[in-house]
Amino acid sequence: MSGGSRCALLPIVLAVCLAVAAATRPVPIAGGTSRVAAANGTCHSRVAPFGYACEEHTVTTEDGYILSLQRITSGRGQTAADGGGKVPVLLQHGLMMDGVTWLMNSPNESLGYILADNEYDVWIANSRGTIHSRGHISLASSDSAYWNWSWDELASKDLWAVAQYVYSQAGQQKMHYVGHSLGTLIALAALSEQQQVGMLRSAGLLSPIAFLDKMSSPLARAAADIFLAEALYWLGLSEFDPTGESVHSLVTDICKQPGIDCYNLMSAFTGDNCCLDNSSVQVFLSHEPQATATKNMIHLAQSEYEN
């Protein structure tokens, strides 16, 4: 890509980032609260209203990050249980998402609920930096040092700590693992360690990635090609948060302009989706996108342009 083309694409990419930020203002969701009500937890806001038994857990990584973990121990109409004796399944979300990914649709359409209804012991992970996993034993999420990590640490620290915890809590039963997008990349990295493999029955990889040079989204590729994440990092932005409040009024004006369809901006990043309707988009945007480390975005971008 030429230097001139990169410069021409920069305002497009920035406009998309702003539009996504505007779309993520908190909105009410069925049976729960908005994404800003972190104190209530996912069990309270998303799981219990549908009649599922759910527990909130925390796991501390070896580098001090305190991660939120939800456990759905029984499905609808089942006798409340502690999950003992059931086969555990660990669900790991993708980039700029959190564990609510597995619970966004109705119970008949969300994998977390479906597994619980089929008598699995369901564990839902939330990576560091997401809204329910921003704790640390010594750092505040406002400290730049808090964000000094990439997907390397998600594989070697977060996934390792969570898998060990689930394995222990489930009575050392081997677990099934399901990862989406970035959740597949960190699994592939983590599974190079024999200890991780020994805790698994199977691994299901949804939208698996090992390299990013085959991305179909022109805007996502452009963001990597123009080194957008690197620019933000050198500007001192260690947290990559596309939901900043300061841009809402600007984006509202942008979205009102003729020919600008903010609904389709999400598809510009993710690719066309035949089955999304506006209500689904609104539920999604009430929770996502989540923050990640700018360093993580740089590492992912390098995977794209180095291949």
Q: Do residues 147 and 295 touch, judged by C-beta distance below 8 A?
A: yes
Q: Are strands 65-74 and 121-125 parallel, antiparallel or unpaired?
A: antiparallel
Average the pLDDT over each of 42-46, 53-57, 74-78 and give the range with the smallest value: 74-78
Q: At what angle do helices 3-23 and 248-256 cross, to 10 degrees?
A: 100
Q: Where in the chain is the domain with CATH 3.40.50.1820?
A: 38-206
Of 148, 161, 181, residue with least CA distance to 295: 148
Percentage of the chain modeled with pLDDT above 70 = 62
Output the CATH code of domain 38-206. Answer: 3.40.50.1820
Q: Span 28-39, mean pLDDT?
A: 34
Q: Do residues 20 and 39 touch, judged by C-beta distance below 8 A?
A: no
What predicted TM-score, i.e. pTM, was given to this entire model? 0.78
Q: Span 184-203, mean pLDDT?
A: 87
Q: How far is CA 246 from CA 21, 41, 164, 229, in A?
A: 9, 26, 40, 19
Q: Is the pLDDT of residue 184 over 80?
A: yes
Percentage of the chain modeled with pLDDT above 90 = 46
Q: How many residues can be counted in the chain? A: 307
Q: Is the pLDDT of residue 74 over 60?
A: yes
